[in-house]
Copies of this chain bind each other. A is one copy, B any other.
Amino acid sequence: MGVPNQFHAPLAVQALAAGKHVLLEKPMGINSEAARQILHAAETSDRVVMVAHQMRWESIAMQIKEQIERGELGKIYSAKTGWFRRKGIPGWGTWFTQMDQSGGGPLIDIGVHMLDLALYLMGNPKPVSVYGSTYAEFGPNRKGIGTWGTPDWDGTYDVEDLATALIKMEDGSTLSLEVSWAVHMDTDNSPFIHVMGSEGGASYRGSEGKLLTEKFDRPIESVLSKPDNDEGERARLSRHFLACIREGKQPITSVLSGFTNNLVLDAIYESSRTGNEVKLDWNLKQ
């Protein structure tokens, strides 16, 4: 089950203070305030702090990233990402469904994966404004729980179970982010991402990817799949962490990227509460 999100920041700060390198599970902080604490602690330390966003290390994501970096897709101007689980709420009573321990529902649980990967593939544009809504129609009514597992029917459920948002970037590009733990929708329950560029696009769903462009004045595409002997994303992620330590370099999933994710997530929750667009506050000090 892992350590509840509320403890990520205090533990990371303590570890750094103790001179340890830190590999944090996502989300980096329970909110942007907590993330900012890690950011500050890391600034004054020479230790490596890395967030374990393993989706960046999946074979298909890496193949897509490689094409984008080579410029094969041209300018990335729009992206769509999300993960709709139809009936996958963790059993109530776990910390996942309790706001004070988790900081939120599917948005901070699985949405942070997709947000992180999308920003990475888009070339790390700077988010400037967020607009979104969250809903909780299943959990509070004791519905939508995953078929397997032992639910605690009296547990607390005070987080969302569906979230949808648009995020505008400084460079003019836009990202759509949608997630659910439970929703009455026709979904294959797989994470997905679509990256749309001026010269080509990439789609990734479940364990299959596609590169798309025009050729012969026609739509044309290449299916991407994992190699048979794929060592797995966690192996590559771990090697990267070790390399960063050894070579004293910044991990690609740096504290800044972790902070960015938290900043955007906070803004989605706020936009949902107020009904208004939220302009991001990039003041890193506070």
Contacts and interface: CB of A to CB of B under 8 A. Distances in A.
Contacts of A162: 77-78, 196
B227 A216 contact: no
Interface residues of A, number: 62
A24 interface: no
A197 B138 CA distance: 10
Contacts of A213: 184, 215-216, 220
Interface stretch (A111-119, A143-151, A244-252): A143-151
Given A200-B184, A203-B186, A216 B72 contact: yes
Contact of A215 (B80, B135, B197, B215): B215
Interface string A134-146: 0101000101100
Nearest to A275: B168
**Count of chain copies:** 6
Contacts of A214: 87, 143-144, 184
Nearest to A217: B147
A274 to B, nearest CB: 11
A231 B132 CA distance: 41
A70 to B, nearest CB: 9
Interface string A63-103: 00001000011110110100000110000000000000000
A222 interface: yes
B176 A196 contact: no
A255 to B, nearest CB: 28
